[in-house]
Amino acid sequence: MTLKKTAAIVTLMSGCALTTLHVGHADAMTLMDLFRRNRAPETLQTLPEVAPAPAQEQSAPARRSASSSPAPRVVGPKYYTYKAEAPRRIETDRLVDPVVTGSLRPDLVSTGNTTPLSDIRPYMPSVTAYAAPDVAKTIEAYYAGTDALIWIDAAGVNDRARAAMAVLADAASIGLDPQDYAVTLPSETPDATDMAAREKSLVSFEIRLSAAVMTYVQDTVRGRIDPNAISGYHDFKRKDVNLAGKLRVIAASHDVAAFLATQTPSNPEFTALRDELKRLEATADGQPRIEIPEGTLLKPGIADPGMPAVVAAIKVKGSDALKTDHAATLAAYQGSEDYTPDLVALVEGFQKENGLKPDGIVGRASIRILSGGDSNADKIAKLRIAMEQARWLPADLGSRYVFINQPAFTASYHDAGVEQFNMRVVVGSKTNQTYFFEDQIQTVEFNPYWGVPQSIIINEMLPKLRSDPGYLDRLGYQVEVAGRAVSSYDVDWYGSTKGVSVRQPPSDDNALGELKILFPNAHAIYMHDTPSKSFFKKDMRALSHGCVRLADPRRMAAAVLGTTVDDVAKQIAGGRNKGVSVPGRIPVYVAYFTAWPDKDGRIAYFDDVYDRDMYMNRAFDATRQVRRIEG
């Protein structure tokens, strides 16, 4: 493919969008940004709903008459009422010969770890057990096609069963719900005169435990929750789990507990979440709440009556490492209102470890954490959600990858399995949310064109265009109709916009800045530079139209291209629009975790900026309800 063709393709991918019904939504400035300095750092790209009419074919009165029509709107994806997969009855009747009846005769029962099904099947009673459809299908296929039971023998429940049940009972330690896998042991003192009842109890236990174990395996590999059933902002291919193969391995295993342990993710991130969960569950949640006066704003060098409360809160909320580093300051503090340099250093350290701008200014964001923050119970809830969501990602994130965590407002680059650097980012606002998905970085485009997607054109630009259709020309935009360059005045902005595209050429004011980093996806989300550098100074950075703005785009571009920042600077200085392919595909995780480990393995907690944890908890509740079917 020629460079010219590559650049054209890259340009077509440039709409940063949230889509509903295939209508794009994009990343851009606010309108105030758009019109600053009388130039717009924005561009309109493919307007799939626009069919133009040349100005000479429509009179001004005709246009004015159309002004009574309401402007159209483009809306983003929806959150759904989560519908958990309903279990179905496992068809054990198919495993029974309807002609032959009787009991599990002791003379036909093996004395080993398994009972030959050829001896038992004609006498196997029908039992009632439920499981998700794919688990139920696996159980039916196994017992129809094998000659061995797994969990019972001549003496009743065997050691393999007890080992499996111990693992299931400890499911909470890996973020799962033990009640989803609870199986009642059959009585150990059965009525010897009622062999049919004993037989049915044992077979019921066999089927139910197999179903519980396979449900556990599936859950710990891919998660209980189907992310795509939560909202249109979630986009994952759900993992396939070879249940039949895993059940065969379990049936042949001499150490079921060890095998089940291998099904849980073992990457460093999941391990850190699991260890933190264990630590918090063993810790009493007795931290006092520190009340900091409303409206407190501490600035270095200025005395404030809120200072004692701030120091008291840091003693409670600060990490052990922070308190060790500033032990002398904390020991010497006597409750003064003076905001001295040593206290500034203490506050800055606290802000840094909590993902805030370490400027020593104690405002709303700092006070929220100091006075409240997350209790142990809140943290445990976030950890369980994070462990569930981590199962949606690959078991191994890779040796080299980019990880964007939206609630943290950060992007990190990893190489050789180690975080090399981390930078601030701006992500989508709550009304223009960034999606949760994974992809692969393919291209870096220097001096990019910027195409404004449909949501911005329709929701934000049309009111201006309808009153002043020529203003795009004055701002230097390139407008095309069916591939032909036209004046923005020649487009009927009251009609359909199908076939109309508008883009902003590379410039100092271009909304994408110097470069963008593409990982082509259905949502037209990418990483890019921005002329609005002031946004990176904010602690809450959910401010874009969906794309990810990078605080240091040159460094990220150099990393993914495997080159130097100086080389990236030379490419930009050339002034030419140019797309460069990334050597090898680099995974990028556009993720959403309110609890996630930092580069040192310490778990950091973040605000749920999009309320997605709330929807996760609703999904947990819905799943719990449908799984409580009693047989």
**Catalytic annotation, residues:** 528, 547
In order of 51, 66, 178, 484, 600, the CA distances from 499 in angstroms are 6, 20, 56, 10, 51
CA atoms within 13 A on the CB side of 503: 21
Q: Phi and psi at residue 131, in whole multiples of 5°?
A: -165, 165
DSSP for 103-143 reads ---GGGS-SSSS-BHHHHGGGPPP---EE-HHHHHHHHHHH
Q: Distance between CA atoms of 510 and 572, rounded to whole angstroms?
A: 13
Residues 9, 12, 18, CA angle at the centre, nearest 5°?
A: 135
- What is each CA distance from 239 to 113, 221, 243, 392, in whole angstroms? 33, 8, 12, 7
Q: Which DSSP string do the residues of 547-559 spell out, in sequence order?
A: SEEESSHHHHHHH
Instruction: Specify the 3-state DSSP secondary structure of 540.
Output: coil
User: In 3D, which of 298, 296, 292, 294 has the Cα closest to residue 370?
Assistant: 292
Please tell me what DSSP assigns to residue 360.
Answer: S
Q: 568-587 burial by CB neighbour count: b if 16+ within 10 A, else e?
A: beebbeeeeebbbebeeebb
Tell me how far apart the alpha carbons of residues 631 and 624 are, in angstroms, rounded to a whole number: 16
Residues forming a β-bridge with 444 = 517, 580
Judging by beta carbons within 10 Å of its beta carbon (0-12, 13-18, 19+), is residue 73 exposed, middle or buried? exposed
Widest CA span of the chain, in angstroms?
A: 99
